[in-house]
């Protein structure tokens, strides 16, 4: 329970809009509402710009790119570029990443300055409806009252409450991206987006890597061909997968030696390594911030309860991004911003039926927008399907990156594109081309008959869409 409202002393400072947490949705809302003439403040305890530029998307993709360079150097001979034993210097990898983050933070500060948004450093918590108390690092306290409030507090890595887990001091993505040495043997708990991306990167820097996951296959909600492709990728990279397995106990300390007891229901096994990375889910940052005092209810899973306008159960209080249970992607948190901004400015914008494109940044990438086969079958949507190997896009052959496939679903009774799945080089970019066609309601024949530059990756969409079976044939 939090401090009751009546006991909170002090003078309230008044704002039109207060944003709690400098996450993606919150910061963009703040800047644009301030530019529209409102008095706006953002309360942030640590990361100027939130997770994405500091500790999540962009730093991870930066480090992943260094790992790609390491991989290419390892394949030097194949390209006719002879390199003598490349050496990985993780402090230089980290330095490149840190430099990027510094630049991003500067960019954010500029936006605060030019938009006239006040950035208040400190930890915020509601003390009564629409009033947030901010405690700074030096212990000083401010009481802020907002006519409107946007909660944008994000999420954090879930550390499973297992015996020995806390004592093992496992790495989360935050510490892993700050390593200045390559772990000798990294055990990754969780084969989701974060686990897979970072596992592959560390493997390419020379670490032994093992992934443990409770599911029987990677990407269990995706089509089986996607799971098989990801599993083959791990096998080829030398990353053993311990699937359908649950960790029951952890011994040792990450950075030194860790021993995990793992069970698959019938048998028990031990997995050992030098470092442990937890990547087995996210928890919303919604506890201890006085939501009960603000009249803001949370769901069973701890996310802030919102409607399709991203309004919480308290009047004039909105929630965006991971804390609101929106799909955990920066581009979705950004779209949440547009919804809340428009609703605050008197419009009516909703989350209903928005597209949910996503990309897993392994090498190669896996990206999808629209329906997968699994979803189409579940929803009873009849479809026509075409699948071609990535090698059908001749560009992949020039790059020696022919791994993977493209798969598209088209309606059985019309030429409407239902969804595209790409596992291959440039998957995110290829997907975006088809995404635009879906947004525009274009029939698939427009892409099939388009003139794309040769040799580019989108050119591969021509053989893909040409392979669609004629109308009247469906699955």
> In this complex, which beta carbon is closest to ligand FAD, that of residue 2 or of residue 123?
123
- Site for ligand FAD (CB under 6 A): which residue of 200, 227, 271, 330? 330
> In this complex, which beta carbon is closest to ligand FAD, that of residue 45 or of residue 395?
45
Residue 382: φ, ψ to 5°? -75, 140
25 lies in the binding site for ligand FAD (CB under 6 A)? yes
Half-sphere exposure of 266 (CA within 13 A, CB side): 0
Buried b (16+ CB within 10 A) or exposed e, 262-275: beeeeeeeebebbb
Place of tokens 């190669």: 364
Locate the DSSP E strands across 317-401: 317-319, 358-360, 365-370, 383-389
- Site for ligand FAD (CB under 6 A): which residue of 18, 19, 24, 363? 24
45 lies in the binding site for ligand FAD (CB under 6 A)? yes
Report the nearest approach of ligand FAD to the CB of residue 183 (Å): 16
> In this complex, which beta carbon is closest to ligand FAD, that of residue 57 or of residue 246?
57
50 lies in the binding site for ligand FAD (CB under 6 A)? yes
354 lies in the binding site for ligand FAD (CB under 6 A)? no
Report the nearest approach of ligand FAD to the CB of residue 55 (Å): 7
Report the nearest approach of ligand FAD to the CB of residue 35 (Å): 19
Half-sphere exposure of 309 (CA within 13 A, CB side): 16
> In this complex, which beta carbon is closest to ligand FAD, that of residue 44 or of residue 373?
44
Report the nearest approach of ligand FAD to the CB of residue 51 (Å): 3
Q: How is residue 131 annotated by DSSP?
A: E
65 lies in the binding site for ligand FAD (CB under 6 A)? no
66 lies in the binding site for ligand FAD (CB under 6 A)? no
- Site for ligand FAD (CB under 6 A): which residue of 142, 303, 328, 368? 328
Task: Give CA separation, 35 vs 113, 304, 349, in Å.
Answer: 11, 27, 20
Number of residues in contact with ligand FAD under rule CB under 6 A: 37
Report the nearest approach of ligand FAD to the CB of residue 409 (Å): 23
23 lies in the binding site for ligand FAD (CB under 6 A)? yes
Task: Give CA separation, 144 vs 20, 21, 196, 447, in Å.
Answer: 11, 14, 42, 53
Handedness of CA 114, 115, 116, 122 (dihedral sign): negative
> Which CB contacts under 8 angstroms, 24+ apart, belong to 175-178?
176/202, 176/277, 177/55, 177/59, 177/60, 177/63, 177/94, 177/97, 178/94
Is the CB of residue 30 less than 8 Å from the CB of residue 17?
yes
- Site residues, ligand FAD (CB under 6 A): 20-25, 43-47, 50-52, 56-57, 60-61, 123-125, 152-154, 173, 194, 285, 289, 321-323, 328-331, 333, 361
């Amino acid at each position: 329970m939090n401090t009751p409202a009546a006991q909170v002393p002090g003078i309230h400072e008044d704002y039109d809009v207060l944003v709690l947490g400098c996450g993606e949705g919150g910061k963009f809302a703040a800047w644009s509402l301030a530019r529209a003439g409102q008095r706006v403040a953002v309360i942030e305890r640590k990361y100027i710009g939130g997770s994405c530029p500091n500790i999540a998307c962009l730093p991870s993709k930066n480090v992943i790119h260094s790992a790609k360079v390491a991989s290419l150097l390892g394949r030097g001979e194949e390209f006719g570029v002879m390199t003598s034993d490349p050496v990985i210097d993780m402090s230089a990898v980290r330095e490149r990443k840190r430099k990027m983050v510094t630049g991003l933070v500067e960019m954010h500060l500029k936006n605060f300055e030019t938009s006239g948004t006040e950035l208040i450093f400190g930890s915020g918590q509601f003390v009564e409806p629409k009033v947030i108390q901010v405690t700074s690092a030096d212990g000083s306290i401010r009481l802020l009252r907002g006519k409107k409030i946007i909660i944008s507090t994000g999420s954090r890595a879930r550390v499973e409450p297992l015996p020995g887990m806390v004592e093992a001091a496992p790495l989360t993505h935050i510490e892993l991206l700050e390593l200045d040495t390559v772990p000798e043997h990294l055990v990754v708990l969780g084969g989701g987006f974060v686990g897979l991306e970072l596992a592959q990167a560390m493997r390419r820097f020379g670490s032994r890597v093992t992934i443990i996951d409770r599911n029987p296959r990677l990407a269990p909600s995706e089509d089986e061909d996607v799971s098989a492709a990801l599993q083959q990728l791990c096998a080829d990279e030398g990353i053993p997968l311990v699937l359908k397995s649950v960790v029951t106990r952890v011994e040792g300390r990450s950075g030194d030696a860790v021993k995990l007891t793992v069970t698959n229901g019938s048998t028990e096994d031990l997995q050992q390594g030098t470092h442990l990375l937890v990547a087995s889910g996210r928890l919303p940052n919604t506890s201890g911030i006085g939501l009960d005092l603000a009249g803001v209810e949370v769901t069973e899973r701890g996310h802030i309860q919102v409607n399709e306008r991203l309004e919480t159960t308290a009047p004039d209080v909105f929630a965006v991004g991971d804390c609101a249970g929106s799909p955990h992607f920066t581009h979705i948190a950004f779209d949440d911003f547009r919804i809340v901004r428009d609703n605050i400015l008197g419009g009516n914008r909703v989350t209903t039926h928005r597209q949910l494109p996503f990309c897993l940044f392994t090498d190669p990438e896996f990206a999808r927008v629209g329906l997968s086969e699994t979803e189409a079958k579940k929803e009873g949507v009849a479809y026509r399907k075409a699948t071609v190997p990535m090698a059908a896009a001749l560009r992949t052959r020039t790059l020696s990156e022919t791994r993977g496939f493209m798969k598209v679903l088209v309606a059985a009774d019309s030429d409407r594109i239902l969804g595209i799945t790409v596992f291959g080089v440039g998957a995110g970019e290829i997907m975006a081309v088809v995404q635009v066609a879906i947004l525009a309601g274009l029939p698939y024949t427009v892409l099939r008959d388009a003139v794309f530059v040769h040799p580019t990756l989108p050119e591969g969409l021509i053989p893909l869409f040409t392979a669609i079976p004629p109308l009247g044939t469906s699955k």
